[in-house]
Amino acid sequence: MQRIYLDNAATTEAVEPVAEAVQQALCQTYGNPSSVHGPGADARSVVDQSRDIIARMLGVDTTEIYFTSGGTEANNLAIRGVPRLNSQCHAILSAVEHPSIYSQVEWLQQQGVSVDITPIDPSTGCVDLDAMVDQLKPTTRLIALMAVNNETGSIQPISRLAKTVRSRLSDVHIHCDAVQAFGKHPVSTREWDVDTLSISAHKIHGPKGIGALYLRRGQGLTPLASGGSQEGRIRPGTENVPGIAGFGAAARYMQEVGRDFVNRSKDLRAAFLDKIASTIDGAHPLVDPEHTVPYIIPLRISGCSSETLLHFLEREGIIVSSGSACHGKTELTHVMKALGYTSDPGVIRISLSPQTPDGALDVLVAKLQSVVGTVRQISPSTLAG
């Protein structure tokens, strides 16, 4: 049975240029980039080239890009590294941040920081911007708002938020998790006026275990680790040269195909949702597609257990998700709770990539038609209707 992979918001397969770049860094450019000899200089060149392509895609200077082990470390560094967070400070996080940010609430509170969580509009999955603005205080020191939500695909109003905040407060750190946006959805780092921004390679056909943090020039961050001068001492430790090489190759690949991919995704999603609406009763988008990126499609099928539906589809060769892979549990995610659900809403997340084959969503429609009835029969009666 040929497998159709539709869980690209969780991770993506490496494309050939990425695999080649990683292999070359492992087997040929294997020097330590901190060494002063020739092999070290060659490795440093690989790191610099990747940093340069990523910086250009973000529209920032190369000195503002710091490599990390992934989006989670970048998010942790952006939150925990903000200087002078103490009991005199206030922070605001949206209710739908990635777990690597949402989980920082407890840590912030341990520092004495008061924290407000901003609700979202359940119809769109977007943060209630007026509510977030109303939460501002003279002591607000940190705000976190992602660019694209990993479960709903909802596009968050980061630019409008920053503009409003900057007009009211002069000393506030704004962080944006752009992991699900980079390479696919426009990321306007300067226009968004954020202080830090996180990205990750494995969401764009790069290797796992490598990400990057943009840190606005002139802004300070307290490192989470010590012991080396690498990455401007912001993220010390020998650089992951193969990962960085793969990240650079993945960024180049998305620079070439990203725009066409998004346009293709719009057409694929429109046709898919039309077929779903006409063939499966009780199936509809989780949130208004007009407010989401086209490559993340959260579909709600009433009366179905999300996990059961996921496994039935896998038996048919279709790989989808029931939510965030970083949540790692079968219980309701905080994003679903923020949308107002108290029990399993029967949601599967379908996510596309440039490697998604033609006809994949047509196959998914057919498979859903064949399994939904059975899944509804065996799903608990307490499911949200």
Q: What residues are annotated to the active site? A: 326
Q: How far apart are CA 213 and CA 67, in angstroms?
A: 6
Structure-token match 């996990």, residue found: 307
Q: How far apart are CA 385 and CA 382, in angstroms?
A: 8
Encoded tokens for 248: 């650079």
Q: How far apart are CA 192 and CA 176, in angstroms?
A: 9
Q: Which residues contact 103 (CB under 8 A, 6 or more apart)?
A: none
Which 3 state secondary structure label does DSSP give 80?
A: helix
Q: Nearest-CA neighbor of 253 among 21, 3, 42?
A: 21
Q: Please state the separation of Cα 318 from the chain's center in Å.
A: 22
Q: Name 261's bridge partners.
A: none
**For 37, left (φ over 0), alpha (ψ -120 to 50), or beta?**
beta
Encoded tokens for 53: 């392509």
- Alpha-helical runs (H) found in 281-353: 306-315, 334-338
Q: Name 91's bridge partners.
A: 115, 142
Maximum distance among all Cα pairs of the chain, rounded to whole angstroms: 68
| Whole-Å CA distances, 159 to 147, 173, 183, 185, 286 | 9, 14, 18, 14, 24
